Amino acid sequence: MNDTGQRSAIVTGGGAGIGAAVVASLLERGYAVTAIDLHFDRKHDDPRFLPVEADARDEGRCRELVSSTPDLRLLVNCAAIRPEAPVLDQTVEGFRAAVDVNLTAAFVLLQAAASAMDAGGSIVNVCSAAAYGKRHLAAYGASKAGLVTLTKVAALELAEHGIRVNAVLPGTTDTPMLQQVRRPSSSGGRSPRNVTQLVLKPAEVASSVVRVAEDPMLSGAVVPVGLLPYEW
């Protein structure tokens, strides 16, 4: 896909929502982008865009994609599933699935990408305010809390290699995943956990992801997008 020395990025969950918005933003900034997802709501008519229909849990396939991507500069871990159930009703199968997609797959890609990157490489993990506790999101929240810790540990260990690792923590964002589970508030409207009290757009979160990814002075940070610290 990229034999011109152009900088490359890999985005998991790049077929819809925040991941798709990140892909679009990176293409605008001149990256060659490999996007991994089960299916794609949007495909760009751009020779620098490579959509790969694959499961982020497929370790062999993901490691192969990393090894075949020249001049890899950026990894964005955005793939996620969001099972919702009271803790007493949450199935072990659903809990394991959330950990596998949201945390283990991110670890595999992080490990593979960091091994392939030169100094100056960047990794951004898309987390969630649910990492700090939210009713009915034990599986999702626990997996995202693990991703926060993975971010901090990887930042410490990869600093000597010149690779930065950060996380972004979006407030309520209008994505297909949220639309599937969102319930109206008592007033009949949405109840976003955002500073503006408005539901964020994926492009707004993607803009923050790119800023964090490209800030050479930032590593080990968990950056809230539209959230105040007390809302975590």
Residues forming the active site: 140
Q: Which phi and psi (to 5°) does residue 103 adopt?
A: -120, -55
Measured distance CA(148)–CA(128) in Å, rounded: 9
The pair of three-digit structure tokens given for residue 177, joined into one six-digit string: 């995943």
d(CA 81, CA 78): 10
Q: CA torsion sign, 89 to 93 to 97 to 99?
A: positive
Q: Three-state DSSP class for 188?
A: coil
- End-to-end Cα distance, the chain: 40
H-state helical runs in the chain = 17-28, 59-67, 92-99, 105-116, 138-158, 176-181, 202-214
DSSP letter, residue 221:
-
